[in-house]
Chain A
């Protein structure tokens, strides 16, 4: 009996440990190692690239933007050839010398198809944008206690107590508070960040849960969500035609447009293959197929043109303030201030 139990216990513990071990990746000439968000690129795209180039693509996944930055600043060139990060960190990453400068002539598809309004001059030589996310407010017109939500300040009204499902992260939450208070969404002033923190404590009181916004909306746990456009597309799809979801008709407040992009860490080992991959994902047909599975906003104009009507007419992108946007900028030395107030917010 005891033996059986000991065996049982050790099995449980052993399994627990197995779950914790990281997958080891051996680097060969025919391998490409990519670190990015999980569930964010189509398997068909990856296998298509593998077939076309006779190589193996190893994907590893991050759980937070900070993971990618940690890897890049620790020197990830020996482990990864491409790393996904977002526009908010580009300035410091370039300044810190953590990135390879790209030879853009090797990614002609990117040069031809990507919209330069997003692939701006200052980051042009160090990254290739992948997909974009609007982070906006969506509500269920049948269950939301408010008639209408037209600005961020509506989100802290007491009627919405326990009604909001929200994305998480300091650099997603603080900008909306700063906008609501009339400040620069990328402020570096501690006094302003502190005020934003106070605004967010009211917001926090209305939030039911952070993360899983779309599931909570579909299951009916929340009636308002502050979320990504791709998540909204999913929720609308789940709730069927004539779904009661409305993208909040904002009148003045700008919404955040975040961009996920690929960078090459300094000293990446399989650069030729990495260039081929970047060029491959910028091919309009390839990206259009990818958008079927991952219907996010896309900086690749030709791909959007080639995309399905379903994507083009997706109600998740059907709002009229698409150009009233702000980007997450690198806040440099102010980052620890954000983190400190974010911590206070979460500890409560």
Chain B
């Protein structure tokens, strides 16, 4: 499945070295004329995805932008009358506070995912192939169940008369049951467990590629484990870390189910507010405008990322 570790990959042959660094994915410099003419493979490979993206991503996005400039009907729904009212509304500092709060929770989630995800990814990547596959499988298995079920499980686990509190009081660690539910803490736990695989997989892929010989060289030249990690391992696995950040931060920023359920609908983040505009509050244009705002922020982040890290280095499995 993976030829990185087969003996032949370790030969000194230049072409195979290229393979090892993923060079086989780069376009070949001297492509034959016949290859240039044939568009069919290109269409077959990229066509369906492109069509899918245009139909289900680009067009809906354009529609969202369009709706954000419309007017709210008394009953909710959309009145097709041009207005910048929604954008005036989101200038309210109230929304700024919410976005800041959402950033904080997304940042904490991302931080936790890196903190716990990196060692885990490292551990898995250093295991023999077969064990590594099994460990990755273990990481994915919880995701075979419905997300709501997983959140409900957390709630049952931590509720006042749940198992955690039973153990705590049973062993006399606390006198009264601890109120875990509906705290920021539990929201963070929920987000963290939901996002962890998306942080571990790209980092795993990065670490797995890391050549052992480089580490050996570093040791041979007198660097200790800490120095080797900081000077060799970390910089070489940055692409994986960066994609882990993107893959966890952005979904965490827009999430609403986790915060709705584990936060008790009391503390609202930007995702909840957008969701409410399409449900209870019935202000679709405002919801669309907030989505556009979130989109702009996300795009800005990716832009900054690409400036600093170089998008071509992004490691997504």
Contact = CB atoms under 8 A, between A and B. Distances in A.
Contacts of B317: 2, 5-6, 9
Interface in A281-340: 332-333, 335-336, 339
A101 B144 CA distance: 48
- Main secondary structure on chain A at its contact with chain B? helix
B280 A169 contact: yes
Contacts of B143: 12, 15
B114 interface: no
Interface stretch (A66-74, A188-196, A253-261): A66-74
Pick from B137, B160, B280 the residue with the most CB of A within 10 Å: B280
Given A3-B1, A92-B75, A220-B177, A66 B264 contact: no
A209 B76 contact: no
A92 B76 CA distance: 12
Given A19-B146, A70-B282, A347-B98, A211 B161 contact: no
B268 A348 contact: yes
A16 B160 CA distance: 31
B280 A66 contact: yes
B159 A335 contact: no
Q: Which 9 A-B pairs have the closest CB atoms?
A: A209-B264, A210-B265, A1-B2, A220-B160, A219-B159, A64-B279, A339-B281, A8-B140, A209-B182
Interface of A: 1-6, 8-9, 11-12, 15-16, 19, 63-64, 66-67, 69-70, 73-74, 92, 96, 162, 168-170, 204, 207-211, 216, 219-221, 332-333, 335-336, 339, 342-344, 346-348
Interface of B: 1-2, 72-77, 94-95, 97-98, 129, 132-133, 136-137, 140, 143-144, 146-147, 159-162, 177, 179, 181-182, 197, 201, 205, 208, 264-268, 272-273, 276, 279-283, 317
8 contacts: A5-B205, A12-B140, A64-B280, A162-B179, A168-B280, A208-B182, A208-B266, A339-B282
Given A74-B77, A346-B265, 11 more contacts: A3-B1, A9-B317, A66-B282, A67-B279, A92-B74, A209-B264, A220-B160, A333-B74, A339-B281, A342-B281, A347-B98
